[in-house]
Amino acid sequence: MKSKTIALELDFPTSPEAIWSHIANWESQGDWMLQTKVWVTSEIREGVGTSISAFTGPLYRFYPRFSALGLLDLMTVTAWQPPLRCDVMHTGKILRGVGSFELVPVTPTLTKFKWSETINAPAAALFLAAPALIFLEIGVRISLNRLRKRVLKGSPE
């Protein structure tokens, strides 16, 4: 088994609390995550033990019948430290590993958002998935910029 980590950082000119209210609202993540629908699948709605599913695929939000063209990501929250950190364990058949949102206060009005994913797979699978991982990184970068715009506009959750 080998691992591949993708990590991105983005500065937000606001407090961690302003960002946290957007990322901790699971169902609204589909509003800023590119081509993704997110829903909670456990009775626990927040905190350690919350189970979340996210489906990412082209056109899925508008045409669910295209689900064969995407990926279902099953996650369980393993660390919950509002408003600074949330870690998840990816438990799906295809996507396995850990993910993290970390909000680091730089000043009272500047926060560094750190996003990372470590994907575990056989070496051959990681090699074959390399092009998809590049698109994943690009998609996450676009999504974080969408989140940043949403937070700065003060969009409702």
Fold of 2-153: Alpha-D-Glucose-1,6-Bisphosphate; Chain A, domain 4 (3.30.530)
The larger pLDDT score, comparing residue 151 to residue 71, is at 151
28-70 pLDDT tens trace: 998 999 888 899 999 999 999 999 999 887 765 555 555 556 7
pLDDT tens-digit series, residues 63-111: 555 555 677 889 999 999 999 999 999 998 877 899 999 999 999 999 9
User: Which one has a higher pLDDT value, 13 or 127?
Assistant: 13
What's the one-letter identity of residue 91? T
Give me the mean pLDDT over the 11-39 stretch: 92
Q: Compute the average pLDDT of residues 24-31.
A: 91
Look at residue 15 and tell me whether its pLDDT is greater than 60. yes
Domain spans of the chain, in order of start: 2-153
